[in-house]
Chains A and B, each alone.
With several copies, the nearest count.
Chain A
C-alpha cells in the first residue's frame, strides 16, 4: 500500500511557515489531488485560566523516531504520497503554532483520515510534555482520556 514519496519530520524550537511547508510538500508530490493539514495552536485561555506561555519539553532522539513511525504507520494504512510533520519545543507564547501535520494523496479521504490518525497517535505516543504558565502559576498539562479514546478508534480488528 505504501508508496510514500516524501516524508519529512522535524522537531524544532523555531516557528514554521505553513504556506511554505505546504508548497514544499506539493512540489515533492506533484501528482497529488488532495492536501490536508492540521495546525495546533497555543490557546490563550486554558482550562486553568489566562495563559502567558506554554513550555514544551521532549525526549530528543525519541521524538523524531516516534513521529516517523507514526507517519509510516499512516502510509501503510492509506495511499499517501507525502507527509510533513513539525513539532515545536521550548517556550511558546499564546496563539503560537505548536504542530503541523500535513499529507498529500490522490483522493481526499486518504489525506483526511491519515491526518486525523497521525494527530491522534502523536497526542498519545510522541514524547512531548506541555507545561502551562499563566496567572494561575504553572503546571504540567494532564493527558486527556479523550485523546487515548480517539486513538483506540483506529485499532484494527486482529
Chain B
C-alpha cells in the first residue's frame, strides 16, 4: 500500500526532510512494523526508532500507540513528545 509519512521537530531535523510518500511491502500495516521497516534504511533511522528517545505517532491526525494499524492512503506522522502550551 501507499502512505504519506510526515516528520516533525527534532525528528524532521534528524531525517532531514518533512514528508515522503512511500510504497510499503505487504505486511507492514502497524506503526511498530513501519518503524522497524524504516529502521532498515540505515544507522540514522535505526537510532531514531530504537532507544534514543521516544517517537510518538499519529494516523490521520489522531495520536496512536505502536499497535495501531493504518490503511492505504493514510497519513502517518512521527514526532517527539509534544511541548506546546
Do A and B interact directly, with beta carbons closer than 8 Å?
Answer: yes
Chain A residues proximal to chain B, CB less than 8 Å: 40, 56-59, 61-62, 65-66, 87, 98-99, 108, 119, 122-131, 140-144, 147
A129 x B80 contact (CB < 8 A):
yes
Contact residue among A65, A66, A119, A128 (Cβ-Cβ distance under 8 Å from B83):
A128
Most buried by A among B8, B10, B79, B85: B85
Q: Which 5 A-B pairs have the closest CB atoms?
A: A128-B84, A143-B81, A129-B9, A62-B61, A123-B85
In the complex, the chain B residue whose C-beta lies closest to that of A38 is B85
Query: What is the distance, in angstroms, from B57's C-beta to the closest C-beta of chain A?
Result: 11
Whether A129 and B82, one on each chain, are in contact in the complex, defined by CB atoms closer than 8 angstroms, is yes
Question: Please, which residue of chain B has its CB at the minimum distance from the CB of A88?
Answer: B84
Q: How far is the CA of A66 from the CA of B61 in the complex (A)?
A: 8
Q: Other than the known A129-B80, A129-B83, what 13 A-B pairs have Cβ atoms closer than 8 Å? A: A59-B58, A59-B77, A66-B61, A98-B85, A119-B85, A122-B84, A124-B81, A124-B82, A127-B8, A127-B79, A127-B82, A128-B85, A143-B80
Interface positions of B (Cβ within 8 A of A): 6, 8-10, 58, 61, 63, 77, 79-85
Question: Complex formed: what's the CA distance from A124 to B82 in Å?
Answer: 6
Residues in B whose Cβ lies below 8 Å from that of A147: 85
The one of B9, B61, B85 that contacts A65, using a Cβ cutoff of 8 Å = B61
A59: contacting residue among B6, B10, B85, CB under 8 A: B6
* Contact for A40 among B9, B61, B85, CB less than 8 A: B85
Q: Is the CB of B84 within 8 A of A129?
A: yes
Query: Inside 8 A of B6's CB, which chain A residues have their CB?
Result: 59
Do A99 and B10 contact each other (CB < 8 Å), given the known contacts A61-B61, A62-B58, A65-B61?
no
